[in-house]
Amino acid sequence: MRIKNASYVLTGSALVATLAAVPPAAADTPTPLPGPSVSGVLAVQKQAMAAGAPGALTRIDSGTSSYRISMGKADTAAGTAMDADRRFRVGSVSKSFTTVVLMQLVAEGRVDLDASANTYLPKPLPDDRITVRHLLSHRSGLWDYTNDMFYNTVPGFEAVRNKVFTYQELIDLSTAHKPNNEPGAAYSYSNTNFVVLGQLIEHVTDVPMATHYEQRIFKPLGLKNTSYVHPRTTITGSYARGYVRDDDPTLPLVDSTEQTVSWGQSAGAVISNSSDLNRFFAAVVSGKVVPPAQLQEMMKVVPVNADGTQFYGLGLRGRKLSCGVTVYGHTGTVQGYYTYAFTTADGKRSMASMANTSNNGTVNTILAGTLEAAFCGTSPAKADKFSRSGGEGFTEDIAPQVVRG
């Protein structure tokens, strides 16, 4: 039996649902997806909190059914409980929003994916061979300036949390370094790519990114909980506070909620909530914000890890899950927040999860388990699977070439 018009709200151990049965819907994958596992999501959230997250939330939208699951604290000082509707900083999920704007400009004939990015920039990059496509796919080779900026996590953050940068200042921090590789030679994740794209979009159109986001995405899709307030430091409405871990894990978590995110801008400064993220990615893959030709380019994903389960296209990640389905979306890391936001290829099931901490690779890895629970209906392995003991390191979307212990 499938569920129609169902709304599930789960906080801690309380589950409330209203149900009405309807016939099974047509399969959106070769094998119909299992139902989401609420207990699986709860188990992931519990593990994430045991590993250091103050709280966690997940929303799954599947057809006309919605599951809202949360645990822990949205504000540790006030003791405020987490709930699945709270706003938060989405970090690198912002890259998918920027990609939509860029691909609309491609569809309008104002940008050519395979042209040199220097065609559209006020100050040229050092290598004229870097194309717009290279930037979108993290194959430009440009050094990520956040490697230096956040080499020491908390001091680096405190040094920039109230600063306002220009795009060019951030790009110059990158180009002071030798590139990671030749343009097009390899995938190398770099926030610099999407800062360059923000500058490119604004230079081509003479319109601020905030206006593009609002007019091209937020308003058309009715994303009422999504905003781009750079360089303002506050989050409005009901939101979860973010807490970043120091490189010395014996020190207290640092409240990182208020910041300009000017170090990230078009690479990481969007604010949203789980409902809006689900609506956004479902709209993307359904062709509601990007024309078919450009959407096809975005979804041409190629493997970026050794076992071929993680992929990157143009501003869009892909993940192949244990039940055989590949989901599309993006991960996000910004100080105090980890985000996973993904949808099936047809947009019929979407999931967004957030844990309000960062610089904790164990939590980040654990949170990925909500994908399996949401799309494959499975429960996670025990938390010891995710242990980082024994010297194994991890990297993140911030300072991606810096290995943490």
Q: Which residues contact 402 (CB under 8 A, 6 or more apart)?
A: 147, 150, 151, 395
Q: Tokens 């905003």, residue?
A: 227
Annotation marks residue 92 as catalytic = yes
Question: CA–CA distance from 276 to each of 54, 59, 273 (Å)?
Answer: 23, 10, 6
231 preceded by cis ω (within 30°)?
Answer: yes
For 348, the token pair is 């019929």
Choose the catalytic residue: 37, 66, 70, 92: 92
How far apart, in whole angstroms, are the C-alpha atoms of residue 86 and residue 71?
12
Exposed / middle / buried, residue 146 (Cβ in 10 Å: 0-12, 13-18, 19+): buried
Q: Are 357 and 53 in contact (CB under 8 A)?
A: yes
Residue type for position 168? Q
What would the two tokens of residue 297 be?
């380019």
Per the DSSP assignment, residues forming a β-bridge with 227 are 271
Alpha-carbon distance of 201 to 252, in angstroms, equals 40
Coil, strand or helix: which one is 80? strand
What radius of gyration, in Å, describes the C-alpha atoms of the chain? 20
DSSP at 87: B
DSSP annotation string for 315-360: S-EEEE-TTS-EEEEEEEEETTEEEEEEEETTSSEEEEEEESEES-
Nearest to 133 by CA among 106, 166, 97, 168: 106
Helix count and strand count (H, E) for the chain:
13, 18
Indicate if the alpha-carbon torsion angle 301, 303, 309, 310 is positive or negative: negative
Residues 41-44: contacts with CB within 8 Å, 24+ apart? 41/67, 41/69, 41/353, 41/370, 41/373, 41/374, 42/10, 42/69, 42/71, 43/369, 43/373, 43/379, 43/380, 44/353, 44/366, 44/367, 44/369, 44/370, 44/373, 44/380
Residues classed as catalytic: 92
